Amino acid sequence: MQQRIKVVNEVSDLVPVLRAVDSPLKLALFKKLSESWVTAEDVEQEFGKEGEKVLGFFEKLKLVDSRWVSREGKRSPEKSFHTYYSTVNINTTAPLTEVSEILSVASLADKDYARFEKEIYDLVGEQGRFFSDVAEELKMSTTRLKGLIKRSEKLEFRGHRVERLNGHRS
């Protein structure tokens, strides 16, 4: 198997790395995905609906690779997943205030984070908004906003815009 290294060059990229294994379920699923190729059906059977949700989060973070596999007794191929990176190289320099903001975002309690995520989700609407406009309207630093969006299962960056992730409705 090919060894790939996730390089973190921007401080806000620490959020997904820290959030990828911040619960027992995420950690167990990540370990499973690092050991073998697993289909969404396998994930649901072993980890339930919440496991499927976590798998989607891993996909958004680009932490998993996918391929189509044929399984005995199945009519059509199924998408299977495996961890994309085996190592993380953190190579970033940032002001301590930015690092503090990112660690704050990564460690926010889920219910507190949900309020921020909903506010951003509602603000960007169906069409999305320019990142700088969102930061200005929320009176939030760009570092904090980047961290919040990178943590989200409902939001993503597309160029200089913040948009709702495909398939997500509030």
Instruction: Output the tens digit of pLDDT for each of the chain's 170 residues.
Output: 567 888 888 999 888 888 888 899 999 999 999 999 999 999 999 999 999 999 988 988 888 999 998 878 778 888 999 998 888 888 889 999 999 999 999 999 999 999 999 999 999 999 999 999 999 999 999 999 999 999 998 999 888 999 998 755 54
How high is the pLDDT of residue 17? 85
Contact 94, 135 (CB under 8 A): no
Collapsed DSSP state (helix, strand, coil) of residue 151: helix
Q: Which residue from 118, 128, 138, 122 is spatially nearest to 162, judged by alpha carbons? A: 128
How high is the pLDDT of residue 19? 87
Collapsed DSSP state (helix, strand, coil) of residue 90: strand
Tokens matching residue 94: 């940032």
How high is the pLDDT of residue 167? 53
Q: Which residue from 113, 115, 137 is spatially nearest to 124, judged by alpha carbons? A: 137
38 class by beta-carbon count within 10 Å (0-12 exposed, 13-18 middle, 19+ buried): buried
Encoded amino acid at 103, one letter: L
Q: Does domain 96-164 have CATH number 1.10.3470?
A: no
Whether 5-90 and 96-164 share one fold: the answer is: yes
How high is the pLDDT of residue 96? 93
Determine the Cα–Cα distance for residues 72 and 52; give it in Å rounded to an integer.
22
Determine the Cα–Cα distance for residues 13 and 10; give it in Å rounded to an integer.
6
5-90 belongs to which CATH class? mainly alpha
pTM of the prediction?
Answer: 0.77
